[in-house]
């Protein structure tokens, strides 16, 4: 028996055998069984997803001895001839090599002759976008008034290159890239039939490498069988495709998320020395971080991701390692790097730099976050060391000790992270940013609203949250049921007990508690223009800087960035 390539041997013979394009095959079957067959179809999609396979099945369905039928027999002369590409009634034309006007004219002339055997004369034109404009125009003449015995089946990867006048005369079907799990399933069937042992990771690597094209995946398996024989490992696949292994990819993502620059550089170096394609690596990382983002923001949709089941655990674990904003930041850097890498001579250096930026984006606190935190500290009270006024800003703190006798508070003291009841406002203030993040994970709109608020006082069942009067509308935003629910949950996570937030717009006087030396009123701020005020303000700034230097968060921020306070502003 002669050797037949896998892609051909496994080419689908019936609509039911087409993988991953049910939306197309179902519609076509309905059209056939209801007798509403259009005279021109256009199949659009990336290479190897089944465009011409579907066109051939459709041709068989129309011209089968039993036809038109949704289940062509595959045994009659017409079906056999179509499978062997020798049917006189089904004319296959490759747009890429047959694009002269003469050839299309010839086509136009032959269209007039009746089919030799079947009821229809069917023209299958692959890569139809490659036809020249003149050829298109000649074709258009036929398309405008096709004889009833003629059907056109066009396939293209680039529909935007087809004339609108042609497009408008076709029924268009968009074929999808085939999802990884479906490709894996198909390859598993083929491997079993061919009696070849292929490891799961190897199957995943083939599916990844073929980018949604089943034909490419089948050809790759074919190539691997001739190259490796009856046992195929992930390493074999990776070396054929220049792909990076799943574990190496996950390790690299892990190092980036941990902010471990040394590990990042080490891994990139190793991959480069192993001859891996750096451009491909960036795309693989990009798709990995995109998956992480889905796991992080929409855990329920993770099941829809185009991944093998074995990847899900790692993805969920890594998604916990960084907030969504940072994952977006990393993806942005990777997109930019992908663009630059194409024109770069030193791909490895560029990639290293980019991944170090990613690692920093994963571990560093963003400027926005720092500004927000500083703002919060400023509003929630003066720096540590001014305990007298700090107490003033928390009027209800005295109610807290009573709370210690309630059951809820007793539970608190038993939990892993016991919170001194009297210190809850202080604790809430230091962890405010974290609470805001927790809330915004569930209710994104609450984020900006909460950033302009601060905890004011706490009793055993109520937490008073103050809003700056300037941002009164944020208080309204927070009152929505969804936001309040997310807020309650976040507070319970942090305080380890149920507490009802009470939202209150603060009076002007209590809204912002400032260090005494810093001018606060608009009048004073205006005076800053005068030289006297400048001196006064310089002195005030020096005082303010000194005070802020004693604040824990500020000090840590300065250490992290090796910075200094230059100015303190309202
Ligand atoms: Zn047949």
User: CATH code at 232?
Assistant: 1.10.8.60
Helix residue spans in 39-132 (DSSP H): 51-63, 77-83, 101-110
Distance 109 CA to ligand 1 centre (A): 28
- Boundary-marking domain end, from 345, 363, 381: 363
Spatial neighbors of 347 by CB under 8 A, at least 6 apart, are: 278, 279, 341
Question: Is residue 328 located within the same domain as residue 274?
Answer: yes
How far is ligand 1, taken at its centre, from the CA of residue 72, in Å? 5
134 and 55 together in one domain: yes
Average pLDDT rounded to a whole number, residues 260-267:
91
What is the whole-number distance in angstroms between the Cα of residue 73 and the centre of ligand 1?
4
Distance 62 CA to ligand 1 centre (A): 9
> Which of 188, 216, 241 is the last residue in one of the domains?
241
Compute, in angstroms, the gap from residue 113 CA to the centroid of ligand 1.
22
Find the mean pLDDT for residues 339-358.
Answer: 87
Query: Which has more confidence, 418 or 143?
Result: 143
Using DSSP's 3-state secondary structure scheme, residue 123 falls into strand
How far apart (Å, rounded) are the C-alpha atoms in residues 483 and 177? 38
How much distance in Å is there from the Cα of 63 to the middle of ligand 1?
7
Question: What is the distance in A from the centroid of ligand 1 to the CA of 76?
Answer: 4
- What is the whole-number distance in angstroms between the Cα of residue 13 and the centre of ligand 1? 11
Quote the ligand 1 centre to 153 CA distance (angstroms). Answer: 19
Tell me how far apart the alpha carbons of residues 122 and 168 are, in angstroms, rounded to a whole number: 19
CA of 145 to the centre of ligand 1 (A): 28
Ligand 1 centroid–CA 37 distance in Å is 18
Q: How far is the CA of 17 from the centre of ligand 1 (A)?
A: 16
Q: Is the pLDDT of residue 516 over 50?
A: no
Query: For the chain, first and last CA: distance in Å?
Result: 85
376 and 465 both lie in a single domain? yes
Query: pLDDT confidence of 182, banded at 50, 70, 90?
Result: very high
pLDDT, residue 323, reads 83
Q: Are residues 250 and 235 in the same domain?
A: no
pLDDT for the residue numbered 395? 39
Q: pLDDT tens digits, residue range 327-338?
A: 898 999 999 999
Query: What's the domain range around 548?
Result: 522-561
What is the distance in A from the centroid of ligand 1 to the CA of 144? 30
Q: Cα of 278 to ligand 1 centre, how many Å?
A: 49
Q: How many angstroms is it from 67 CA to the middle of ligand 1?
A: 7
Give the mean pLDDT of the chain: 80
C-alpha 171 to ligand 1 mean position (Å): 24
568, part of any domain = no
pLDDT at 228: 85
- Shared domain for 236 and 138, answered yes or no, is no
Does one domain contain both 118 and 185?
A: no
Supply 549's token pair. Answer: 């230097």
Residue 517 lies in a domain: no
pLDDT at residue 393, as a whole number: 40
The Å distance, Cα 108 to ligand 1 centre, comes to: 27
Residues 60 and 45 in one domain: yes
Residues 470-479: tens digit of each pLDDT? 777 788 888 8
Q: Which range (69-73, 77-81, 115-119) has the least confidence? A: 115-119
* 172 Cα to the center of ligand 1, angstroms: 26
| Residue of 2 and 143 predicted with greater confidence | 143
At which of 363, 379, 398 does a domain end?
363
| Rounded distance from Cα 61 to ligand 1 centre (Å) | 7
85 sits in the region (left: phi over 0; alpha: psi -120 to 50; else beta) called left
Q: Give the highest mean pLDDT range of 2-11, 86-95, 149-158.
A: 149-158
Residue 567 lies in a domain: no
pLDDT of the residue at 64:
93
- pLDDT band at residue 366 under the 50/70/90 scheme: low
The answer to whether residues 36 and 149 touch, using CB atoms and an 8 Å cutoff, is no
Rounded to the nearest angstrom, the distance between the alpha carbon of 68 and the centre of ligand 1 is 9
Which among 38-42, 296-300, 315-319 has the top mean pLDDT?
38-42
Predicted confidence (pLDDT) per residue in 519-568, tens digit: 334 444 444 444 555 455 666 677 777 788 778 888 878 777 767 777 77
Same-domain check for residues 491 and 373 = yes
Report CA(65)–ligand 1 centroid distance (Å): 5
Whether residue 449 contacts residue 484, with contact meaning beta carbons closer than 8 Å, is answered with no
3-state secondary structure of 82: helix
How far is the centre of ligand 1, averaged over its atoms, from the C-alpha of 97 (Å)? Answer: 30
Residue 247 alpha carbon to ligand 1 centre in Å? 48
Task: Flag whether pLDDT at 18 surpasses 90.
Answer: yes
Q: How far is the CA of 84 from the centre of ligand 1 (A)?
A: 13
How many domains are there within the chain? 5
- Percent of all residues in the chain with a pLDDT value above 70, rounded to a whole number: 83
DSSP 139-190: HHHHHHS--TTEEEEEEES-GGGS-HHHHTTSEEEEPPPPPHHHHHHHHHHH
The reply to whether 301 falls in a domain is: yes
- Report CA(16)–ligand 1 centroid distance (Å): 16
> How close is the Cα of 69 to the center of ligand 1, in Å?
9
pLDDT of residue 514: 31
Query: In terms of domains, do 33 and 153 share one?
Result: yes
Band (277; pLDDT cuts 50, 70, 90): confident
Which residues crowd ion ligand 1, with CB under 5 Å?
64-65, 72-73, 76, 79
Q: How far apart are the CA of 272 and the centre of ligand 1, in A?
A: 53
Q: How far apart are CA 354 and CA 504, in angstroms?
A: 45
| Res. 371: pLDDT tops 80 | no
Is residue 18 located within the same domain as residue 162?
yes
85: CA distance to ligand 1 center in Å? 14
Of the two residues 538 and 325, the one the predictor is more confident about is 325
User: How many A from CA of 14 to the centre of ligand 1?
Assistant: 11
Please compute the mean of the pLDDT values over residues 262-284 and round it to a whole number: 89
* 345 and 383 assigned to the same domain: no
How far, in Å, from the CA of 82 to the mean position of ligand 1?
9
Quote the ligand 1 centre to 81 CA distance (angstroms). Answer: 10
How far apart are alpha carbons 338 and 330 in whole angstroms? 12
d(CA 429, CA 394): 11
What is the CA(564)–ligand 1 centre distance, in A? Answer: 82
Q: Can you give the CATH number for the domain in which 317 is found? A: 1.20.272.10
Per-residue model confidence (pLDDT) at position 2: 64
Per-residue pLDDT at 417:
44
Digit-coded pLDDT (tens) for 373-421: 788 777 766 555 444 444 444 433 333 333 333 444 333 334 444 444 5
* Whole-number pLDDT of residue 473: 78
Q: Which two tokens stand for residue 331?
A: 């993806």
- pLDDT score recorded for residue 402: 38
* CB-based contacts of 36, cutoff 8 Å, min separation 6: none
Most confident of 250-254, 277-281, 410-414: 250-254
Interacting residues of 274 by C-beta distance below 8 A, sequence separation 6+: none
161 and 58 fall within a common domain:
yes
Q: How far is the CA of 96 from the centre of ligand 1 (A)?
A: 30
For the chain, the helix, strand and coil percentages under 3-state DSSP, each to the nearest 5: 60, 10, 30
Distance 74 CA to ligand 1 centre (A): 5
Q: Provide the b/e sequence for 511-526 (b: ≥16 CB within 10 Å).
A: bbbbbebbbeeeeeee
Residue 1 counted as domain residue: no
Please state, in angstroms and as integers, the Cα–Cα distance from residue 124 to each residue in 62, 310, 563, following that order: 13, 41, 69
Q: Are 355 and 254 in contact (CB under 8 A)?
A: no
Residue 481 falls inside a structural domain:
yes
Contacts 24+ apart (CB under 8 A), 292-298: 292/253, 292/318, 292/319, 292/322, 292/327, 293/319, 293/324, 293/327, 293/328, 293/331, 295/319, 296/320, 296/322, 296/323, 296/324, 296/327, 297/324, 297/441
- What does the pLDDT read at residue 414? 41
Distance between Cα 71 and ligand 1 center (Å): 8
Specify the pLDDT at position 392.
40
Residue 160 included in any domain: yes
Is 166 within a domain?
yes
Query: Which of 29-43, 126-140, 508-522 shows the highest mean pLDDT?
Result: 29-43
Average pLDDT of the residues in 217-221: 92
Residue where the block lists tokens 């490992």: 233
Confidence of residue 137 (pLDDT cuts 50, 70, 90): confident
Least confident of 456-460, 503-507, 528-532: 528-532
In the structure, what pLDDT confidence band is assigned to residue 99 with cuts at 50, 70 and 90? Answer: low
Place of tokens 């606060």: 520
**Pairing label, strands 453-458, 462-467:** antiparallel
For residue 565, give the nearest of 377, 358, 408, 361 by alpha carbon: 377
Q: What is the CA radius of gyration of the chain?
A: 34
The DSSP bridge partners found for residue 415 are: none
């Amino acid at each position: 028996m002669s050797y037949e390539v896998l892609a051909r041997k496994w080419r689908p013979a019936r609509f039911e055998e087409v993988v991953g394009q049910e939306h197309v095959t179902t519609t076509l079957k309905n059209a056939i069984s209801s007798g509403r067959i259009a005279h021109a179809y256009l199949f659009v999609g990336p290479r190897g997803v089944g465009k011409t396979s579907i066109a051939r099945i459709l041709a068989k369905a129309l011209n089968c001895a039993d036809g038109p039928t949704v289940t062509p027999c595959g045994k009659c002369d017409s079906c056999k001839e179509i499978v062997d590409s020798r049917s006189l009634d089904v004319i296959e034309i490759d747009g890429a090599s047959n694009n002269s006007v003469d050839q299309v004219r010839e086509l136009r002339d032959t269209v007039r002759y009746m089919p030799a055997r079947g009821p229809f004369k069917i023209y299958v034109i692959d890569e139809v976008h490659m036809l020249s404009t003149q050829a298109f125009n000649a074709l258009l003449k036929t398309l405008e008034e096709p004889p009833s015995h003629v059907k056109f089946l066009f396939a293209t990867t680039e529909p935007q290159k087809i004339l609108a006048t042609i497009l408008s005369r076709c029924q268009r079907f968009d074929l999808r890239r085939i999802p990884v799990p479906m490709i894996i399933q198909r390859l598993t069937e083929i491997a079993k039939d061919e009696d070849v042992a292929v490891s799961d990771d190897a199957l995943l690597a083939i599916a990844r490498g073929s980018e949604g094209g089943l034909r490419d995946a089948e050809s790759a398996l074919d190539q691997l069988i001739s190259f490796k024989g009856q046992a195929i490992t992930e390493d074999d696949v990776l070396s054929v495709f220049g792909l990076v292994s799943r574990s190496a990819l996950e390790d690299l993502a892990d190092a980036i998320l941990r902010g471990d620059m040394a590990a990042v550089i080490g891994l990139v170096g190793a991959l480069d020395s192993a001859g891996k394609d750096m451009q491909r690596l960036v795309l693989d990382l990009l798709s990995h971080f995109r998956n992480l983002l889905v796991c992080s923001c929409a855990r329920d949709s993770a099941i829809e991701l185009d991944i093998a089941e074995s990847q899900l655990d790692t993805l969920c674990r890594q998604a916990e390692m960084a907030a969504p904003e940072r994952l977006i930041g990393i993806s942005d850097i990777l997109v930019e790097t992908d663009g630059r890498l194409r024109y770069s001579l030193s791909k490895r250096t560029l990639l290293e730099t980019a991944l170090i930026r990613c690692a920093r984006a994963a571990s560093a606190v963003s400027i926005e976050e720092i500004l927000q935190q500083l703002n919060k500290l400023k509003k929630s009270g003066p720096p540590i060391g001014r305990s007298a006024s700090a107490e003033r800003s928390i009027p209800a703190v005295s109610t807290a000790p009573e709370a210690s006798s309630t059951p809820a508070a007793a539970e608190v003291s038993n939990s892993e992270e016991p919170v001194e009841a009297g210190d809850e406002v202080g604790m809430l203030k230091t962890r405010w940013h974290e609470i805001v993040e927790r809330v915004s994970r569930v209710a994104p709109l609450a984020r900006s609203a909460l950033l302009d608020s601060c905890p004011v006082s706490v009793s055993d069942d109520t937490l008073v949250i103050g809003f700056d009067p300037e941002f009164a509308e944020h208080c309204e935003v927070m009152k929505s049921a969804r936001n309040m629910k997310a807020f309650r949950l976040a507070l319970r996570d942090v305080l380890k007990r149920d507490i009802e937030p009470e939202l209150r717009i603060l009076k002007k006087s209590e809204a912002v508690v400032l260090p005494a030396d810093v001018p606060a009123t608009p009048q004073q701020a205006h005076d800053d223009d005068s030289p006297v005020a400048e001196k006064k303000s310089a002195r005030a700034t020096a005082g303010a800087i000194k005070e802020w230097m004693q604040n824990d968060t500020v000090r840590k921020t300065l250490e992290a960035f090796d910075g200094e306070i230059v100015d303190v502003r309202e």
